[in-house]
Structure 1
Amino acid sequence: MAAKRKESVTLQEIAERLRVSASTVSRALNNNPRISKETREAVWKLANEMDYQPYFPDFAKVNRPMRTIGLLVPNFSNPIYIETYNILQEEALTKGYQVVVLNSGNRPEVEKQIITDVKNLGLCGLVISFSDTTTNCININNPDLKGFPIVAIHRVNFNLQIPRIIIDNFQGAFLATNHLLTMGCNRIALLIGKKSCPIYSEILKGYKQALSKNGLALKQEYVVSSSLTESDVDASLDILYRLNEIPDAIITANPNIAIQIISRLKDENIRVPEDIAIVTIGNHSLLKYWTPTITCVEVNNLEFARATTKKFFETLQKTEIGQSISPDTSIITTRLSIRGSSIKR
């Protein structure tokens, strides 16, 4: 009589034995420093005892090749995309999937081509963050993609009938502006990207709301919109310098811009925050080590990544059984981390 074939051990089985989550097991097997040394050792010990094969999670049971999920982003250097990839990949491996990063380079034409070819690329689902100049993406509504799981994140298009995960940029800009007002600033400039991008339009709305709540009128000359390249930022500063009343504070659309501005102000012997206070939308590990440390509106990247992962696999499951997909929006809240660049004494 033939011996019974031994089935592959799954991450979930290890997780149940150790009473932890499957994603914790996945992180431990990849020696993720977020997981304590004791937990990593316990996971590896049990995995060896159970003869677990790390990179082949459920394939023997489901008898299918690894399937691929696309993560299409405008610039993979953004920490929120890196965290999203890490969490999405961890969960994907437990379910027999892998994740591939597709970088559009913030170019709508590249983005459009990837979406058009999504099935030819062998993808079974897509998580997408649009370029900041994408005004429409009608090919996502192509009948060929009917029933194809797509979730939009961060930079989204509200005209598309797909699920969305976004950051509360309105709240973030409101918090930043209100904080600067409490510091005594009343000439607050705002440097943002193209207003057609929902992220920047929401930042502008939050900025306006904070001014209005404090009885201040919007001064259009203090709002500078550009493509946010390094040369654009320098040109934006030149515009602000030429005003009769130069700003006493600047809110930037991302951390890289804040760092660039502070570096230039130092070169020109302009003090931060005494002469010009700086607050940025978005976080970066460098901000708390810069001189001065930089005040920022931050989001919990891990929370964002988990929400994205949960929403994508819910969408994938529904499409597989033919259920309709609700184009709902999940909003991740922000908080203000006050540091040296904005504290005026």
Structure 2
Amino acid sequence: MKSTVTIKDVARELGIHHVTVSRALRDTGSVKEETKTLIKQKANELGYKPNRLAQNFRNKRSNVLAVVVPDLRPYFFAKFVSDFMETAQEAGYSVMIFQSGEKPGVEKEIVDSLIGYRVTGVVASVTKDTIHDSHFDVLKDENIPYVFFDRAPEQTEASQVLVNNFQGAYNAVTAMIKSGKNRIAYISTHYKHQIFRDRLAGYKKALEDHNLPCLEEMVVEGGFFMKDGFAHAERLMNLEEKPDGILAVRDEIGIGVIKYLKKKGVRVPEDVAVIGFDNDPMGVACEPELTTVQQSIPSMVAGSFELLLTQIQSNSLSFEKKVIEPKIIYRGSA
């Protein structure tokens, strides 16, 4: 097996001191340009690769940012990670991605491990069960900036970029009411994080402001996926007084609702309007296409990176909260 090429190997090949090689490869110190070029050519020829982790320990900080998310499968998180990586790389940073799997214990292990990687900053969206941010204190102790996005612990003093989930749900219900719907159901999740409570509160307030009752049987909770939307739609459409509008807590659930309604010959949106949440690309693959509440991922990425970069450049932790207003993307289902 071929051994790893080191700085000393490069130095030995050229007959110069390894310190000179190190300075040339890191573009630091006074090394003549012709010598620097020669060193880089030889390093490339030998297949030298820098030991980033070792460099991080020597320098006590790297140019690496970490992104921590609960799940990479949903479109929202996958798109955020992709866009954030692009933004960070354009600014000269590398990015490490971590997934907690919606498990607070795993999330804590990830945060603890970030100290060893000597990351420069962290953006994180916490698990559905993370209430306190005490396990992020290890970052604070090391003066490593961190910003929460989308989901933040309910008790935190860290910077955060959040969506106005209350307003998003309120606007969606109001839109259905204005189109003539007056028995609007809500398919939520059993998760109790603040963002889901805010969406439920927005749903209820819109009904209240338009003098419509909020009926217990019209609010259902359960899983997070298409099959759950299908099952919940079946439950709602078996009620004696059926809904004529359904708001789903996320698009994948809304697509499941449409699949059930079409299977039963229910017209969408004429008989039942459907609106989802997240602007998942899958929403345009169903028929009719899903009307959705869009959370601006570009705005969330830009806000998160800006807050993080400000702390990195000032070398100080701070608290700032950015709230992004959602908007409805009208398609065929409402």
The alignment's TM-score, normalised by the length of structure 2, stands at: 0.76
Alpha-carbon distance, 1:289 to partner: 4.2
- For 1:314, the equivalent position in structure 2 comes to 310
- For 1:258, the equivalent position in structure 2 comes to 254
Segment drifting more, 144-153 vs 158-167: 144-153
The number of aligned residues is 286
Contact 1:132–1:194 (8 Å) recurs in 2: no
Q: In structure 2, do the counterparts of structure 1 residues 184 and 121 end up closer, same or farther at CA, with 3 Å as the change threshold?
A: same
1:339 maps to 2:322: no
Q: In structure 2, do the counterparts of structure 1 residues 306 and 79 end up closer, same or farther at CA, with 3 Å as the change threshold?
A: farther
State the distance in 1 between where 2:295 and 2:149 align: 14
State the distance in 2 between where 1:265 and 1:201 align: 26
Contact 2:115–2:139 (8 Å) recurs in 1: no
State the one-letter code of the partner of 2:328: L
Q: In structure 2, do the counterparts of structure 1 residues 6 and 235 end up closer, same or farther at CA, with 3 Å as the change threshold?
A: farther
- For 1:329, the equivalent position in structure 2 comes to 321
Secondary structure of 2:152 counterpart: coil
Contact 2:146–2:158 (8 Å) recurs in 1: yes
Q: In structure 2, do the counterparts of structure 1 residues 296 and 143 end up closer, same or farther at CA, with 3 Å as the change threshold?
A: closer
> Where do 1:94-109 residues align within 5 Å?
94-109=90-105
State the distance in 2 between where 1:153 and 1:281 align: 17
Alpha-carbon distance, 1:3 to partner: 7.9
1:198 to 194, 203, 208: 194
- For 1:5, the equivalent position in structure 2 comes to 33
Secondary structure of 2:115 counterpart: coil
State the one-letter code of the partner of 2:98: L
Contact 2:139–2:145 (8 Å) recurs in 1: no
Q: In structure 2, do the counterparts of structure 1 residues 310 and 304 end up closer, same or farther at CA, with 3 Å as the change threshold?
A: same
- For 2:218, the equivalent position in structure 1 comes to 222
State the distance in 2 between where 1:224 and 1:133 align: 20
2:129 to 120, 124, 133: 133
- The alignment yields a C-alpha RMSD, in angstroms, of 3.0
Contact 2:128–2:193 (8 Å) recurs in 1: yes
Alpha-carbon distance, 1:308 to partner: 1.3
State the distance in 2 between where 1:122 and 1:143 align: 10
> Where do 1:126-205 residues align within 5 Å?
126-142=122-138, 145=141, 147-194=143-190, 196-205=192-201
Secondary structure of 2:66 counterpart: strand
Deviation string, structure 1 residues 100-122 (Cα, Å, up to 9, x no partner): 11112222222122123321344
Segment drifting more, 223-232 vs 119-128: 223-232
Segment drifting more, 108-117 vs 271-280: 108-117
Q: In structure 2, do the counterparts of structure 1 residues 231 and 203 end up closer, same or farther at CA, with 3 Å as the change threshold?
A: same
State the distance in 1 between where 2:159 and 2:89 align: 22
Contact 1:84–1:306 (8 Å) recurs in 2: no
Secondary structure of 2:94 counterpart: strand
> Where do 1:110-121 residues align within 5 Å?
110-121=106-117
State the one-letter code of the partner of 2:327: R
Contact 1:68–1:97 (8 Å) recurs in 2: yes
State the distance in 2 between where 1:284 and 1:315 align: 32
> Where do 1:40-79 residues align within 5 Å?
67-79=63-75
Alpha-carbon distance, 1:87 to partner: 4.0
Deviation string, structure 1 residues 138-181 (Cα, Å, up to 9, x no partner): 21235874522111000112301110101111111111000111
State the one-letter code of the partner of 2:264: E
Deviation string, structure 1 residues 76-132 (Cα, Å, up to 9, x no partner): 234443443344333433554211111122222221221233213443321111122
Contact 2:311–2:317 (8 Å) recurs in 1: no
State the distance in 2 between where 1:94 and 1:270 align: 49
Could you tell me which runs of 5 or more consecutive residues in structure 2 were left unpaired when the two chains were aligned: 1-29, 37-49, 51-57
State the one-letter code of the partner of 2:300: F
State the distance in 1 between where 2:139 and 2:145 align: 13
Identity %: 25
Secondary structure of 2:120 counterpart: strand
Alpha-carbon distance, 1:315 to partner: 2.2
Alpha-carbon distance, 1:191 to partner: 1.0
Secondary structure of 1:102 counterpart: strand
- For 1:291, the equivalent position in structure 2 comes to 287
Alpha-carbon distance, 1:333 to partner: 1.2
Contact 1:85–1:99 (8 Å) recurs in 2: no
The alignment's TM-score, normalised by the length of structure 1, stands at: 0.74
1:207 maps to 2:203: yes
Deviation string, structure 1 residues 190-228 (Cα, Å, up to 9, x no partner): 111235211111111111121111112321221112232
Segment drifting more, 251-260 vs 217-226: 217-226
Q: In structure 2, do the counterparts of structure 1 residues 4 and 299 end up closer, same or farther at CA, with 3 Å as the change threshold?
A: same
